[in-house]
A and B are shown apart, each in its own frame.
Chain A
Amino acid sequence: MSRAILYDSTLCIGCKACEGGCAERWGLPYDDKIAAEERISAHKLTAVETHGERYSRRLCMHCAEPTCASVCPVGALQKTSLGPVVYDAEKCMGCRYCMQACPFQVPTYEWNKRLPKMRKCDMCYERQSQGKQTACAEVCPTGATKNGDRDQLLAEARQRIAEKPGQYYGKIFGVREVGGTSVLYLSAVPFEQIGLRTNVPQEALPDLTWRVLELTPDVVSTGSVLLGGIWWITNRRGEVARTEGRRK
């Protein structure tokens, strides 16, 4: 069973209760000034964006095959079987490849700290492993953010579209994007109009580098034979030339 979040933009009233709940769960400061910031950052791991009359929520997408976990040189990021992608700050050396690689630009950095960490939503991994709801889902007054089993949420999203086809843009964001994500979006309008990156590939990104990296043993073994062989041939040729030169 894999946990997920369904965010229905048509139900969101922009009250930002999720932001407050999230800040409280992480022990981060939250006031009117921070509430006014419409982007995620190291001190605000989820943000409600306004797009005209519509709202959209930003948080980590918790990809099925996370790009961040694949690029992290020290394995500080892991996809848990429960669903959340979690981060071990003790391993992180701050190369920021996760930030560079994330197709949704989710990881943020504590730029102004002397011992900085990367920060992102972890879908309340601890709360969920104790059977609790994520902080954002728990405080959401309208049910715009719902936390549950991914398959069930997916079925529910499809049902909502089927019941009120006029109210929804007929697709669910996160089903196939970058190979599927654990955060699913419903919207009344095409997803780019509520600020989602719709130009992301439909396949998981880690394959793009693995395709090359998996050749490493082949390159090393073939290369050793080839270079060793070339050395052996050319070196022998030099020896022969030297010996013959001596005889003359």
Chain B
Amino acid sequence: MKFKLPKITVWRAIFAVILLSGLYATYLRVVYGLGGVTNLSDKFPWGLWIGFDVLCGVGLAAGGFTLVAIVHIFNIERYKPILRPAILTAFLGYSLVVVALMYDLGRPDRIWHPLIMWNPHSVMFEVAWCVTLYTTVLFLEFIPVVFERFGWHKPLEWIHNISVPLMIAGVLLSTLHQSSLGSLYLIVPEKLYPLWYSPILPLLFYISAIAVGLAMTIFESWHSSRAFGRALELPLLASMARVLAVLMSAYLWIRFLDLAHQHAFGVLLRNRTETWLFALEIALMAVPTVLLYQRKVRMSPGALYACAVMVLFGFITNRLNVAVTGMEAGSGAHYIPKWTEVAVTLSIVGAGFAIFRVIAEYFPIFEAVRPLGPHERAPEKMEETEADSVAVG
């Protein structure tokens, strides 16, 4: 058989350019240090790599623990078809966060230090431990896929025996560090802009992480159904979209109450960049929330996808607002990422998509899913029975 060159498509070309620039940026990072490749400064020590790669990366991977909780702890088994892709996303997401940290840490060779040099008073210490442990849990939650692929039954059984405590540990660890990423900013009350600083930042980070985990699951189901020519699990996604709408409503309401309690509404009258980016963030979250209450929107693949994407962007805007926009005025610094920072970030995202695709191609990630046959339940009827797992089972 003759070796065939992969077909050159626009997306592949873009991907190649991104990856090459990322590789070049990596070389510059190693040779010239953080100063050579970032626009960070003494007054602005955390930039895009923390704001996007870590804060958004961990949040976007929250679908893993959310779906594990839904399927295995709440035993709502009909969500099982979308569990594996969610776990894979989470596992890849966390692995890539670790990769991003290797770029951002001044001494990546010492990334293991928090494991043996303790400071329980540090939020970062807690995050380091949780992320390490949770990445291990995700590995163990994912590895059965590999065992299945090669038909290794013995290790499959071992994992199965510890699966319940493992999954409970995963949900707890996620609860801790998803909220702790918000707690990181509790210590900068005089630097973080009042529209984002709040004593309940950990709660806000936690709720929005669960919500964005669901949105990410919808997003990736939509994409994989196109990439692999599978049927979209529309009824499942639609009922998940309901949960998403309720969560987002709760989140937005808590944000509103929080601003009210902190008397921060006056800040909204200032004509500043912060005000407009805050408005953008809220709009990107509120619009899909309202739309998702319409049955028509939930049941239309295109509209559902658009809503999920808006939630994703709303979430990303929020995290970048906390990490970058909101910190500029208080720090007395202006920060725009250097091209090398952007190149590394885009490469990591691109690598995530590519690795997901390769794994999904060679391992049983989507196998549990069959195309909808004529005997299947009508979508809306299925939605109605969602809470009644006994009747379904």
Residues of chain A whose beta carbon lies under 8 Å from any beta carbon of chain B:
40-42, 67, 70-76, 91-97, 99-101, 103, 105, 107-118, 197, 199-201, 205-206, 208-210, 212-213, 216, 219-220, 223-224, 227-228, 230-231, 234-235, 237-238, 240-242, 245
**Given A73-B128, A223-B172, residue A95 in contact with residue B190 (CB < 8 A):** no
Which residues of the partner chain B approach A205 to less than 8 Å between Cβ atoms? 187, 189
Tell me, yes or no, whether B262 is within 8 Å of chain A by CB.
Answer: no
**Given A92-B110, A112-B35, residue A219 in contact with residue B176 (CB < 8 A):** yes
- Bound-state Cα–Cα, A70 to B123, Å: 9
B126→A216 contact, CB < 8 A: yes
A206→B121 contact, CB < 8 A: yes
**Given A72-B122, A94-B107, A205-B187, residue A111 in contact with residue B40 (CB < 8 A):** yes
Give how many A-B residue pairs fall within 8 Å (CB-CB). Answer: 185
Please give me the residue from chain B that is nearest to A220 by CB atom.
Answer: B172
A212→B124 contact, CB < 8 A: no
Other-chain residue from A93, A105, A110, A114 in contact with B105 (beta carbon distance below 8 A): A93
B110→A230 contact, CB < 8 A: no
Tell me, yes or no, whether B10 is within 8 Å of chain A by CB.
Answer: no
Which residues of the partner chain B approach A42 to less than 8 Å between Cβ atoms? 42
User: How many whole Å from A235's CB to the nearest CB in chain B?
Assistant: 6
* Interface size of B as a range: 35 or more
- Bound-state Cα–Cα, A235 to B45, Å: 48
Which residues of the partner chain B approach A199 to less than 8 Å between Cβ atoms? 190
Residues B17-51 near A (CB distance < 8 A): 30-36, 38, 40-43, 45-46
B75→A75 contact, CB < 8 A: no
- Bound-state Cα–Cα, A205 to B105, Å: 24
- Can you pick out 9 interface pairs between chain A and chain B where the beta carbons lie within 8 Å of each other? A73-B122, A73-B125, A74-B117, A93-B108, A105-B42, A109-B45, A209-B187, A212-B202, A227-B168
User: How many whole Å from A68's CB to the nearest CB in chain B?
Assistant: 10
Tell me, yes or no, whether B183 is within 8 Å of chain A by CB.
Answer: yes
User: How many whole Å from B27's CB to the nearest CB in chain A?
Assistant: 13
Please give me the residue from chain A that is nearest to B169 by CB atom.
Answer: A224
Please give me the residue from chain A that is nearest to B327 by CB atom.
Answer: A100
**Given A112-B32, A219-B172, residue A234 in contact with residue B123 (CB < 8 A):** no
Which residues of the partner chain A approach B202 to less than 8 Å between Cβ atoms? 212
Which residues of the partner chain A approach B111 to less than 8 Å between Cβ atoms? 93
- Bound-state Cα–Cα, A132 to B188, Å: 35
**Given A99-B45, A101-B188, residue A238 in contact with residue B75 (CB < 8 A):** yes
Please give me the residue from chain A that is nearest to B30 by CB atom.
Answer: A114
Please give me the residue from chain B that is nearest to A97 by CB atom.
Answer: B124
Other-chain residue from A107, A118, A212, A216 in contact with B186 (beta carbon distance below 8 A): A212
